Structure 1
Protein backbone atom coordinates (compact mmCIF):
# COMPACT_ATOMS: atom_id res chain seq x y z
CA UNK A 1 0.00 0.00 0.00
CA UNK A 2 1.31 3.42 -0.98
CA UNK A 3 0.75 6.24 1.53
CA UNK A 4 0.58 9.63 -0.18
CA UNK A 5 0.64 12.76 1.95
CA UNK A 6 0.77 15.42 -0.76
CA UNK A 7 -1.05 16.05 -4.01
CA UNK A 8 2.10 15.27 -5.98
CA UNK A 9 2.71 12.01 -4.12
CA UNK A 10 -0.88 11.01 -4.85
CA UNK A 11 -0.50 11.84 -8.54
CA UNK A 12 2.77 9.91 -8.74
CA UNK A 13 1.12 6.87 -7.14
CA UNK A 14 -1.89 6.96 -9.45
CA UNK A 15 0.09 7.61 -12.63
CA UNK A 16 1.53 4.10 -12.30
CA UNK A 17 -1.96 2.53 -12.15
CA UNK A 18 -4.17 1.49 -15.04
CA UNK A 19 -7.85 0.71 -15.32
CA UNK A 20 -10.73 1.83 -13.11
CA UNK A 21 -10.28 3.63 -9.79
CA UNK A 22 -12.60 3.12 -6.83
CA UNK A 23 -12.48 5.86 -4.20
CA UNK A 24 -13.63 5.87 -0.56
CA UNK A 25 -13.31 9.29 1.11
CA UNK A 26 -13.30 9.13 4.93
CA UNK A 27 -12.46 11.16 8.02
CA UNK A 28 -10.73 8.19 9.62
CA UNK A 29 -11.69 6.32 12.79
CA UNK A 30 -12.50 3.49 10.38
CA UNK A 31 -15.07 0.85 11.30
CA UNK A 32 -16.89 -2.05 9.64
CA UNK A 33 -19.07 0.37 7.70
CA UNK A 34 -15.98 1.82 6.04
CA UNK A 35 -14.71 -1.71 5.41
CA UNK A 36 -17.92 -2.43 3.51
CA UNK A 37 -17.29 0.55 1.24
CA UNK A 38 -13.67 -0.47 0.69
CA UNK A 39 -14.64 -4.07 -0.04
CA UNK A 40 -17.14 -2.93 -2.67
CA UNK A 41 -14.51 -0.68 -4.25
CA UNK A 42 -12.05 -3.59 -4.26
CA UNK A 43 -14.53 -5.90 -6.02
CA UNK A 44 -15.50 -3.40 -8.69
CA UNK A 45 -12.26 -1.61 -9.59
CA UNK A 46 -8.66 -2.20 -10.59
CA UNK A 47 -7.27 0.33 -8.08
CA UNK A 48 -8.67 1.34 -4.69
CA UNK A 49 -7.93 4.72 -3.12
CA UNK A 50 -8.96 5.70 0.40
CA UNK A 51 -8.54 9.21 1.79
CA UNK A 52 -8.38 10.08 5.48
CA UNK A 53 -8.87 13.77 6.18
CA UNK A 54 -10.73 15.39 9.06
CA UNK A 55 -12.11 18.32 7.10
CA UNK A 56 -12.24 21.49 9.22
CA UNK A 57 -14.56 23.42 6.91
CA UNK A 58 -17.54 21.14 7.59
CA UNK A 59 -17.38 21.65 11.36
CA UNK A 60 -19.27 24.57 12.87
CA UNK A 61 -17.95 26.62 15.82
CA UNK A 62 -18.40 24.61 19.01
CA UNK A 63 -18.57 21.25 17.23
CA UNK A 64 -16.20 18.36 17.88
CA UNK A 65 -13.36 19.09 15.42
CA UNK A 66 -10.66 19.08 18.10
CA UNK A 67 -11.84 15.83 19.71
CA UNK A 68 -13.00 14.00 16.59
CA UNK A 69 -11.56 10.48 16.92
CA UNK A 70 -8.20 10.04 15.22
CA UNK A 71 -6.58 6.60 15.06
CA UNK A 72 -3.83 6.84 12.45
CA UNK A 73 -2.03 3.57 13.17
CA UNK A 74 -5.23 1.49 13.35
CA UNK A 75 -6.67 3.15 10.25
CA UNK A 76 -3.52 2.48 8.23
CA UNK A 77 -3.61 -1.17 9.27
CA UNK A 78 -7.29 -1.53 8.34
CA UNK A 79 -6.58 -0.06 4.90
CA UNK A 80 -3.62 -2.36 4.38
CA UNK A 81 -5.56 -5.47 5.40
CA UNK A 82 -8.48 -4.39 3.19
CA UNK A 83 -6.35 -4.33 0.06
CA UNK A 84 -6.22 -0.56 -0.41
CA UNK A 85 -3.70 0.37 -3.09
CA UNK A 86 -3.24 4.05 -2.26
CA UNK A 87 -4.00 5.81 1.03
CA UNK A 88 -4.19 9.59 0.71
CA UNK A 89 -3.45 11.22 4.07
CA UNK A 90 -3.12 14.99 3.54
CA UNK A 91 -2.87 17.74 6.11
CA UNK A 92 -4.91 20.95 6.08
CA UNK A 93 -2.22 22.95 4.26
CA UNK A 94 -2.35 20.44 1.39
CA UNK A 95 -6.10 20.76 1.00
CA UNK A 96 -6.66 24.47 1.65
CA UNK A 97 -5.00 27.77 0.87
CA UNK A 98 -5.93 31.32 1.78
CA UNK A 99 -8.90 33.19 0.31
CA UNK A 100 -9.77 30.41 -2.10
CA UNK A 101 -12.78 29.55 -4.23
CA UNK A 102 -15.48 27.65 -2.37
CA UNK A 103 -18.31 25.38 -3.45
CA UNK A 104 -21.64 26.26 -1.83
CA UNK A 105 -24.59 24.00 -1.15
CA UNK A 106 -27.94 24.58 -2.89
CA UNK A 107 -30.00 27.37 -1.34
CA UNK A 108 -32.89 25.07 -0.43
CA UNK A 109 -31.71 21.45 -0.23
CA UNK A 110 -28.48 22.46 1.48
CA UNK A 111 -30.25 24.30 4.31
CA UNK A 112 -32.94 21.89 5.43
CA UNK A 113 -32.64 19.08 8.01
CA UNK A 114 -28.87 18.66 8.51
CA UNK A 115 -28.31 21.98 6.79
CA UNK A 116 -30.76 23.75 9.10
CA UNK A 117 -29.16 22.23 12.20
CA UNK A 118 -25.64 22.88 10.89
CA UNK A 119 -25.78 25.91 8.53
CA UNK A 120 -22.74 25.97 6.26
CA UNK A 121 -21.86 22.35 6.98
CA UNK A 122 -22.60 21.19 3.45
CA UNK A 123 -20.56 24.01 1.94
CA UNK A 124 -17.53 22.44 3.60
CA UNK A 125 -18.54 18.90 2.64
CA UNK A 126 -19.04 19.71 -1.03
CA UNK A 127 -15.87 21.78 -1.21
CA UNK A 128 -13.63 19.04 0.16
CA UNK A 129 -15.31 16.30 -1.87
CA UNK A 130 -14.86 18.33 -5.05
CA UNK A 131 -11.17 18.76 -4.22
CA UNK A 132 -10.75 15.05 -3.51
CA UNK A 133 -12.52 14.05 -6.71
CA UNK A 134 -10.24 16.34 -8.72
CA UNK A 135 -7.16 14.89 -7.03
CA UNK A 136 -8.09 11.20 -7.25
CA UNK A 137 -10.09 11.30 -10.53
CA UNK A 138 -12.05 8.18 -9.59
CA UNK A 139 -14.19 6.03 -11.82
CA UNK A 140 -16.52 5.29 -8.90
CA UNK A 141 -16.83 6.84 -5.44
CA UNK A 142 -18.51 5.03 -2.55
CA UNK A 143 -20.68 6.64 0.13
CA UNK A 144 -22.91 5.23 2.87
CA UNK A 145 -26.64 5.86 2.89
CA UNK A 146 -26.55 6.78 6.59
CA UNK A 147 -25.47 10.27 5.56
CA UNK A 148 -28.41 10.42 3.18
CA UNK A 149 -28.56 14.17 2.64
CA UNK A 150 -24.81 14.35 2.09
CA UNK A 151 -25.08 11.52 -0.43
CA UNK A 152 -27.91 13.32 -2.23
CA UNK A 153 -26.02 16.62 -2.44
CA UNK A 154 -22.78 15.01 -3.62
CA UNK A 155 -24.72 13.17 -6.32
CA UNK A 156 -26.32 16.47 -7.33
CA UNK A 157 -22.93 18.19 -7.43
CA UNK A 158 -21.54 15.50 -9.73
CA UNK A 159 -24.48 16.01 -12.06
CA UNK A 160 -24.51 19.81 -11.91
CA UNK A 161 -20.79 20.02 -12.72
CA UNK A 162 -20.88 17.26 -15.37
CA UNK A 163 -18.26 15.27 -13.50
CA UNK A 164 -17.17 12.00 -15.10
CA UNK A 165 -17.62 9.55 -12.25
CA UNK A 166 -20.30 7.33 -10.73
CA UNK A 167 -21.52 7.73 -7.15
CA UNK A 168 -22.20 4.32 -5.58
CA UNK A 169 -24.57 4.39 -2.55
CA UNK A 170 -24.06 1.66 0.04
CA UNK A 171 -26.51 0.44 2.69
CA UNK A 172 -26.02 1.46 6.31
CA UNK A 173 -24.09 -1.08 8.38
CA UNK A 174 -25.41 -1.76 11.88
CA UNK A 175 -24.39 -3.46 15.08
CA UNK A 176 -26.30 -6.63 15.96
CA UNK A 177 -28.64 -4.60 18.18
CA UNK A 178 -29.47 -2.18 15.36
CA UNK A 179 -27.24 0.78 16.22
CA UNK A 180 -25.95 2.38 13.03
CA UNK A 181 -22.16 2.34 12.90
CA UNK A 182 -20.63 5.78 13.32
CA UNK A 183 -17.21 7.08 14.32
CA UNK A 184 -19.00 9.21 16.94
CA UNK A 185 -20.36 6.12 18.73
CA UNK A 186 -17.11 6.06 20.71
CA UNK A 187 -18.37 9.14 22.60
CA UNK A 188 -21.27 7.15 24.12
CA UNK A 189 -20.98 5.71 27.61
CA UNK A 190 -22.80 2.39 28.27
CA UNK A 191 -26.10 3.96 29.36
CA UNK A 192 -26.04 6.44 26.46
CA UNK A 193 -25.39 3.65 24.02
CA UNK A 194 -28.55 1.92 25.24
CA UNK A 195 -30.48 5.17 24.80
CA UNK A 196 -29.03 5.55 21.29
CA UNK A 197 -30.90 2.42 20.23
CA UNK A 198 -34.06 4.52 20.28
CA UNK A 199 -33.06 6.00 16.92
CA UNK A 200 -33.03 2.66 15.13
CA UNK A 201 -36.07 1.50 17.12
CA UNK A 202 -38.06 4.50 15.87
CA UNK A 203 -37.11 3.65 12.29
CA UNK A 204 -38.13 0.02 12.82
CA UNK A 205 -41.51 1.28 14.03
CA UNK A 206 -41.84 3.44 10.91
CA UNK A 207 -41.02 0.45 8.72
CA UNK A 208 -43.55 -1.74 10.52
CA UNK A 209 -46.28 0.89 10.19
CA UNK A 210 -45.67 1.20 6.46
CA UNK A 211 -45.75 -2.58 6.06
CA UNK A 212 -49.08 -2.58 7.88
CA UNK A 213 -50.47 0.03 5.50
CA UNK A 214 -50.00 3.27 7.45
CA UNK A 215 -48.58 5.71 4.92
CA UNK A 216 -49.49 9.12 6.41
CA UNK A 217 -46.31 10.93 7.37
CA UNK A 218 -47.74 12.68 10.43
CA UNK A 219 -49.01 9.42 11.92
CA UNK A 220 -45.64 7.74 11.40
CA UNK A 221 -43.68 10.66 12.85
CA UNK A 222 -45.93 10.80 15.93
CA UNK A 223 -45.18 7.19 16.82
CA UNK A 224 -41.47 7.67 16.15
CA UNK A 225 -41.38 10.63 18.53
CA UNK A 226 -42.99 8.53 21.26
CA UNK A 227 -40.20 5.97 20.98
CA UNK A 228 -37.51 8.67 20.94
CA UNK A 229 -38.56 10.18 24.28
CA UNK A 230 -36.83 11.59 26.31
CA UNK A 231 -34.01 12.25 23.82
CA UNK A 232 -33.39 15.75 22.52
CA UNK A 233 -34.78 15.27 19.01
CA UNK A 234 -33.60 17.74 16.37
CA UNK A 235 -35.83 16.41 13.63
CA UNK A 236 -37.89 13.51 12.41
CA UNK A 237 -38.57 13.84 8.69
CA UNK A 238 -40.14 11.89 5.86
CA UNK A 239 -38.96 13.00 2.42
CA UNK A 240 -38.71 11.74 -1.12
CA UNK A 241 -35.38 11.06 -2.81
CA UNK A 242 -35.20 14.73 -3.83
CA UNK A 243 -35.45 15.65 -0.13
CA UNK A 244 -38.87 17.21 -0.48
CA UNK A 245 -41.25 16.72 2.45
CA UNK A 246 -44.13 14.40 1.59
CA UNK A 247 -47.47 13.84 3.31
CA UNK A 248 -47.57 10.15 2.47
CA UNK A 249 -44.89 7.52 2.07
CA UNK A 250 -44.15 6.72 -1.56
CA UNK A 251 -42.80 3.18 -1.68
CA UNK A 252 -39.52 3.16 -3.59
CA UNK A 253 -39.06 6.92 -3.28
CA UNK A 254 -38.99 7.68 0.46
CA UNK A 255 -36.39 8.25 3.16
CA UNK A 256 -37.33 8.46 6.85
CA UNK A 257 -34.73 10.38 8.84
CA UNK A 258 -34.03 11.15 12.47
CA UNK A 259 -31.44 13.28 14.27
CA UNK A 260 -31.15 13.41 18.05
CA UNK A 261 -28.70 14.08 20.85
CA UNK A 262 -27.81 11.28 23.21
CA UNK A 263 -26.05 13.00 26.06
CA UNK A 264 -23.70 15.41 24.31
CA UNK A 265 -23.39 13.25 21.18
CA UNK A 266 -25.38 14.09 18.08
CA UNK A 267 -26.45 11.03 16.07
CA UNK A 268 -28.32 10.59 12.80
CA UNK A 269 -29.99 7.58 11.22
CA UNK A 270 -32.46 6.81 8.44
CA UNK A 271 -34.24 4.10 6.52
CA UNK A 272 -34.87 4.04 2.78
CA UNK A 273 -38.27 2.76 1.64
Structure 2
Protein backbone atom coordinates (compact mmCIF):
# COMPACT_ATOMS: atom_id res chain seq x y z
CA UNK A 1 0.00 0.00 0.00
CA UNK A 2 1.38 3.38 -0.99
CA UNK A 3 2.21 5.83 1.79
CA UNK A 4 1.78 9.60 1.41
CA UNK A 5 3.73 12.28 3.23
CA UNK A 6 3.78 16.06 3.04
CA UNK A 7 6.66 16.95 5.35
CA UNK A 8 10.40 16.57 4.93
CA UNK A 9 10.76 15.13 8.43
CA UNK A 10 8.40 12.20 7.79
CA UNK A 11 9.91 11.64 4.35
CA UNK A 12 13.37 11.35 5.86
CA UNK A 13 12.08 8.91 8.47
CA UNK A 14 10.89 6.69 5.62
CA UNK A 15 14.25 7.07 3.84
CA UNK A 16 16.09 6.16 7.06
CA UNK A 17 13.99 3.02 7.48
CA UNK A 18 14.72 1.98 3.90
CA UNK A 19 18.44 2.54 4.38
CA UNK A 20 18.55 0.60 7.63
CA UNK A 21 17.04 -2.32 5.73
CA UNK A 22 19.73 -2.04 3.05
CA UNK A 23 17.28 -1.07 0.33
CA UNK A 24 18.02 0.94 -2.80
CA UNK A 25 15.72 3.91 -3.41
CA UNK A 26 14.59 5.39 -6.72
CA UNK A 27 12.87 8.77 -7.14
CA UNK A 28 10.57 9.80 -9.98
CA UNK A 29 9.88 13.56 -9.80
CA UNK A 30 6.55 14.63 -11.33
CA UNK A 31 4.05 17.47 -11.29
CA UNK A 32 1.15 15.04 -11.21
CA UNK A 33 -1.71 14.57 -13.69
CA UNK A 34 -0.03 11.25 -14.39
CA UNK A 35 -0.35 9.44 -17.73
CA UNK A 36 1.23 6.31 -19.14
CA UNK A 37 4.44 8.20 -19.91
CA UNK A 38 4.94 8.90 -16.21
CA UNK A 39 4.03 5.35 -15.28
CA UNK A 40 6.65 3.88 -17.60
CA UNK A 41 9.20 5.97 -15.71
CA UNK A 42 7.94 4.36 -12.51
CA UNK A 43 8.36 0.92 -14.09
CA UNK A 44 11.91 1.83 -15.11
CA UNK A 45 12.66 3.06 -11.58
CA UNK A 46 11.43 -0.23 -10.09
CA UNK A 47 13.98 -2.09 -12.21
CA UNK A 48 16.77 -0.11 -10.56
CA UNK A 49 15.70 -0.04 -6.90
CA UNK A 50 13.90 -1.87 -4.12
CA UNK A 51 11.67 1.05 -3.16
CA UNK A 52 10.28 3.80 -5.40
CA UNK A 53 9.25 7.26 -4.26
CA UNK A 54 7.32 9.56 -6.58
CA UNK A 55 7.17 13.27 -5.89
CA UNK A 56 4.06 15.20 -6.84
CA UNK A 57 4.65 18.93 -6.75
CA UNK A 58 3.50 21.62 -9.17
CA UNK A 59 6.53 23.82 -8.75
CA UNK A 60 5.55 27.51 -8.81
CA UNK A 61 9.09 28.78 -9.37
CA UNK A 62 9.26 27.34 -12.89
CA UNK A 63 6.13 29.16 -14.05
CA UNK A 64 6.31 32.77 -15.21
CA UNK A 65 3.44 35.21 -14.63
CA UNK A 66 0.74 34.48 -17.20
CA UNK A 67 1.71 30.83 -17.63
CA UNK A 68 -0.58 27.95 -16.67
CA UNK A 69 0.27 27.45 -12.98
CA UNK A 70 -3.32 27.91 -11.80
CA UNK A 71 -4.88 25.74 -14.50
CA UNK A 72 -2.19 23.06 -14.61
CA UNK A 73 -4.12 19.74 -14.33
CA UNK A 74 -4.23 18.25 -10.85
CA UNK A 75 -5.64 14.89 -9.73
CA UNK A 76 -3.82 13.69 -6.62
CA UNK A 77 -6.41 11.05 -5.75
CA UNK A 78 -6.27 9.55 -9.23
CA UNK A 79 -2.47 9.80 -9.29
CA UNK A 80 -2.19 7.98 -5.97
CA UNK A 81 -4.35 5.12 -7.24
CA UNK A 82 -2.25 4.76 -10.41
CA UNK A 83 0.99 4.75 -8.41
CA UNK A 84 -0.35 2.27 -5.88
CA UNK A 85 -1.23 -0.10 -8.72
CA UNK A 86 2.32 0.29 -10.05
CA UNK A 87 3.91 -0.70 -6.73
CA UNK A 88 5.16 2.71 -5.60
CA UNK A 89 6.03 2.83 -1.90
CA UNK A 90 5.99 6.55 -1.18
CA UNK A 91 4.13 9.55 -2.61
CA UNK A 92 5.99 12.69 -1.62
CA UNK A 93 3.41 15.48 -2.02
CA UNK A 94 4.66 18.59 -0.22
CA UNK A 95 2.86 21.91 -0.07
CA UNK A 96 4.49 25.04 -1.55
CA UNK A 97 5.09 26.28 2.02
CA UNK A 98 6.95 23.06 2.88
CA UNK A 99 9.20 23.41 -0.18
CA UNK A 100 9.60 27.18 0.01
CA UNK A 101 9.11 28.29 3.63
CA UNK A 102 9.16 31.93 4.69
CA UNK A 103 12.57 33.44 4.07
CA UNK A 104 13.57 30.97 1.35
CA UNK A 105 16.24 32.76 -0.68
CA UNK A 106 18.52 30.18 -2.32
CA UNK A 107 18.49 29.28 -6.00
CA UNK A 108 20.68 27.27 -8.37
CA UNK A 109 22.22 29.12 -11.32
CA UNK A 110 23.07 27.33 -14.54
CA UNK A 111 25.19 27.44 -17.66
CA UNK A 112 26.12 24.86 -20.29
CA UNK A 113 23.14 22.87 -21.62
CA UNK A 114 20.72 25.25 -19.87
CA UNK A 115 21.56 28.07 -22.28
CA UNK A 116 19.35 28.65 -25.29
CA UNK A 117 16.29 26.74 -26.60
CA UNK A 118 13.86 26.76 -23.64
CA UNK A 119 15.81 29.51 -21.91
CA UNK A 120 15.39 31.83 -24.90
CA UNK A 121 11.63 31.73 -24.44
CA UNK A 122 11.21 30.87 -20.76
CA UNK A 123 14.26 32.45 -19.07
CA UNK A 124 12.92 31.66 -15.59
CA UNK A 125 12.32 27.99 -16.29
CA UNK A 126 15.54 26.11 -15.62
CA UNK A 127 16.40 28.14 -12.53
CA UNK A 128 13.12 26.98 -11.01
CA UNK A 129 13.60 23.39 -12.19
CA UNK A 130 17.21 23.16 -10.99
CA UNK A 131 16.36 24.53 -7.56
CA UNK A 132 13.42 22.20 -6.95
CA UNK A 133 15.20 19.14 -8.34
CA UNK A 134 18.23 19.84 -6.16
CA UNK A 135 15.92 20.02 -3.14
CA UNK A 136 14.13 16.80 -4.11
CA UNK A 137 17.39 14.91 -4.55
CA UNK A 138 18.72 16.12 -1.20
CA UNK A 139 15.42 15.36 0.55
CA UNK A 140 15.26 11.77 -0.69
CA UNK A 141 18.96 11.08 -1.45
CA UNK A 142 17.92 8.37 -3.92
CA UNK A 143 20.34 5.94 -5.51
CA UNK A 144 18.73 6.69 -8.87
CA UNK A 145 16.30 9.29 -10.20
CA UNK A 146 14.34 8.86 -13.41
CA UNK A 147 13.36 11.69 -15.78
CA UNK A 148 11.62 11.51 -19.14
CA UNK A 149 13.45 12.18 -22.39
CA UNK A 150 10.46 14.18 -23.65
CA UNK A 151 11.90 17.08 -21.65
CA UNK A 152 15.27 16.43 -23.23
CA UNK A 153 17.02 19.70 -22.42
CA UNK A 154 15.83 19.40 -18.83
CA UNK A 155 17.30 15.89 -18.66
CA UNK A 156 20.68 17.19 -19.85
CA UNK A 157 20.56 20.09 -17.38
CA UNK A 158 19.79 17.77 -14.46
CA UNK A 159 22.48 15.29 -15.49
CA UNK A 160 25.02 18.12 -15.56
CA UNK A 161 23.75 19.56 -12.28
CA UNK A 162 24.23 16.30 -10.37
CA UNK A 163 27.74 15.86 -11.78
CA UNK A 164 28.78 19.43 -11.07
CA UNK A 165 27.38 19.48 -7.51
CA UNK A 166 28.56 15.95 -6.65
CA UNK A 167 25.05 14.78 -5.83
CA UNK A 168 25.45 10.99 -5.51
CA UNK A 169 22.38 10.04 -7.55
CA UNK A 170 22.45 8.27 -10.90
CA UNK A 171 20.22 10.07 -13.40
CA UNK A 172 18.37 7.78 -15.82
CA UNK A 173 16.42 8.96 -18.86
CA UNK A 174 13.21 7.19 -19.81
CA UNK A 175 12.11 7.01 -23.45
CA UNK A 176 9.31 9.28 -24.64
CA UNK A 177 5.97 7.50 -24.70
CA UNK A 178 3.74 8.44 -27.63
CA UNK A 179 0.13 8.21 -28.69
CA UNK A 180 -0.55 5.92 -31.68
CA UNK A 181 -0.28 8.92 -34.04
CA UNK A 182 3.15 9.92 -32.69
CA UNK A 183 2.19 12.77 -30.35
CA UNK A 184 4.35 12.72 -27.23
CA UNK A 185 2.25 12.08 -24.13
CA UNK A 186 1.96 15.16 -21.94
CA UNK A 187 -0.33 16.37 -19.18
CA UNK A 188 -0.85 19.53 -21.24
CA UNK A 189 -2.35 17.57 -24.14
CA UNK A 190 -5.61 17.77 -22.19
CA UNK A 191 -5.76 21.46 -23.12
CA UNK A 192 -6.00 20.72 -26.86
CA UNK A 193 -9.33 21.09 -28.64
CA UNK A 194 -10.49 18.29 -30.93
CA UNK A 195 -9.27 20.21 -33.96
CA UNK A 196 -5.91 21.06 -32.38
CA UNK A 197 -5.42 17.45 -31.38
CA UNK A 198 -5.58 16.50 -35.05
CA UNK A 199 -2.79 18.97 -35.86
CA UNK A 200 -0.54 18.22 -32.87
CA UNK A 201 1.20 15.10 -34.32
CA UNK A 202 2.61 17.27 -37.12
CA UNK A 203 5.28 18.41 -34.65
CA UNK A 204 6.75 14.93 -34.42
CA UNK A 205 6.37 14.32 -38.17
CA UNK A 206 8.17 17.57 -38.97
CA UNK A 207 11.03 16.90 -36.55
CA UNK A 208 11.53 13.47 -38.12
CA UNK A 209 11.63 15.01 -41.59
CA UNK A 210 14.13 17.66 -40.45
CA UNK A 211 16.35 14.97 -38.99
CA UNK A 212 16.28 12.95 -42.20
CA UNK A 213 17.13 16.03 -44.24
CA UNK A 214 20.09 16.91 -42.01
CA UNK A 215 21.38 13.35 -42.17
CA UNK A 216 21.10 13.49 -45.97
CA UNK A 217 23.42 16.51 -46.00
CA UNK A 218 21.06 19.50 -46.00
CA UNK A 219 22.31 22.54 -44.12
CA UNK A 220 20.99 22.34 -40.54
CA UNK A 221 20.08 26.02 -40.27
CA UNK A 222 18.18 25.95 -43.57
CA UNK A 223 16.46 22.74 -42.47
CA UNK A 224 15.39 24.33 -39.18
CA UNK A 225 13.90 27.35 -40.98
CA UNK A 226 12.01 25.12 -43.41
CA UNK A 227 10.59 23.04 -40.53
CA UNK A 228 9.38 26.15 -38.73
CA UNK A 229 7.57 27.32 -41.87
CA UNK A 230 5.93 23.91 -42.25
CA UNK A 231 4.65 23.92 -38.67
CA UNK A 232 3.23 27.42 -39.00
CA UNK A 233 1.52 26.39 -42.24
CA UNK A 234 0.03 23.36 -40.45
CA UNK A 235 -1.71 25.59 -37.93
CA UNK A 236 0.72 26.27 -35.07
CA UNK A 237 0.30 29.80 -33.73
CA UNK A 238 3.98 30.18 -32.85
CA UNK A 239 7.14 28.14 -33.12
CA UNK A 240 9.74 28.89 -30.47
CA UNK A 241 12.39 26.74 -32.10
CA UNK A 242 13.29 23.80 -34.23
CA UNK A 243 16.92 22.97 -33.45
CA UNK A 244 19.41 20.38 -34.64
CA UNK A 245 21.86 20.00 -31.78
CA UNK A 246 24.61 17.90 -30.25
CA UNK A 247 22.86 15.29 -28.11
CA UNK A 248 24.84 16.07 -24.92
CA UNK A 249 26.10 19.66 -25.05
CA UNK A 250 23.10 20.90 -27.10
CA UNK A 251 25.50 23.03 -29.15
CA UNK A 252 24.44 23.64 -32.78
CA UNK A 253 25.72 21.08 -35.27
CA UNK A 254 27.09 21.75 -38.74
CA UNK A 255 26.71 19.46 -41.74
CA UNK A 256 30.32 18.41 -41.19
CA UNK A 257 29.58 17.49 -37.56
CA UNK A 258 26.64 15.34 -38.65
CA UNK A 259 28.64 13.67 -41.42
CA UNK A 260 31.35 12.88 -38.85
CA UNK A 261 28.77 11.02 -36.74
CA UNK A 262 28.42 13.46 -33.84
CA UNK A 263 25.53 12.45 -31.50
CA UNK A 264 22.48 14.36 -32.61
CA UNK A 265 19.10 15.46 -31.35
CA UNK A 266 16.33 17.37 -33.12
CA UNK A 267 14.22 19.43 -30.75
CA UNK A 268 11.12 21.54 -31.25
CA UNK A 269 8.69 23.68 -29.29
CA UNK A 270 5.64 25.62 -30.38
CA UNK A 271 2.21 26.85 -29.42
CA UNK A 272 -0.91 25.24 -30.86
CA UNK A 273 -3.99 27.20 -29.90
CA UNK A 274 -3.13 28.12 -26.31
CA UNK A 275 -1.10 24.98 -25.59
CA UNK A 276 2.68 24.83 -25.73
CA UNK A 277 3.99 21.52 -27.03
CA UNK A 278 7.58 20.22 -27.01
CA UNK A 279 9.15 17.18 -28.59
CA UNK A 280 12.52 15.79 -29.58
CA UNK A 281 14.06 12.74 -31.20
CA UNK A 282 17.25 11.06 -32.24
CA UNK A 283 16.97 11.04 -36.05
CA UNK A 284 19.32 8.09 -36.36
CA UNK A 285 16.88 5.87 -34.49
CA UNK A 286 13.53 7.57 -35.14
| TM interval, short-chain normalised | over 0.9
For structure 1, list consecutive stretches of 5 or more residues without a partner in the other structure: none
Matched, 1:120 2:124: yes
- Could you tell me how far apart the structure 2 residues matched to 1:37 and 1:109 are? 23
State the TM-score, normalizing by the size of structure 2.
Answer: 0.90
Distance change >3 Å, CA 80–CA 194, structure 1 → 2:
same
Pairwise CA distance, 1:234 = 1.0
Moved more, 89-98 or 106-115: 106-115
Q: Retained in 2: the 8 A contact 1:259–1:267?
A: yes
For structure 2, list consecutive stretches of 5 or more residues without a partner in the other structure: none
Moved more, 236-245 or 54-63: 236-245
List per-residue Cα deviations over 1:109-161 (Å, max 9, x = no partner).
43411011001111110000000001111000001111111111111110111
- Could you tell me how far apart the structure 2 residues matched to 1:123 and 1:210 are? 32
Matched residue SS, 1:112: coil
Aligned length, in residue pairs: 272
Q: Retained in 2: the 8 A contact 1:50–1:88?
A: yes
Q: How does 1:66-81 map to 2 (within 5 A)?
A: 66-81=70-85
Corresponding residue to 2:249 among 237, 242, 257:
242
Corresponding residue to 2:273 among 244, 263, 266:
263
User: 2:190: which partner in 1?
Assistant: 186
Pairwise CA distance, 1:181 = 0.4
User: 1:13: which partner in 2?
Assistant: 14
List per-residue Cα deviations over 1:92-112 (Å, max 9, x = no partner).
111012332423332464341
Q: Retained in 2: the 8 A contact 1:144–1:169?
A: yes
Corresponding residue to 2:31 among 27, 31, 40:
27
Cα root mean square deviation, aligned: 1.6
Q: Retained in 2: the 8 A contact 1:198–1:227?
A: no
- Tell me which stretches of 4 or more aligned residues in structure 1 moved more than 6 Å: none
State the TM-score, normalizing by the size of structure 1.
Answer: 0.94
Q: How does 1:35-114 map to 2 (within 5 A)?
A: 35-107=39-111, 109-114=113-118
- Could you tell me how far apart the structure 2 residues matched to 1:46 and 1:107 are? 34
Pairwise CA distance, 1:5 = 1.2
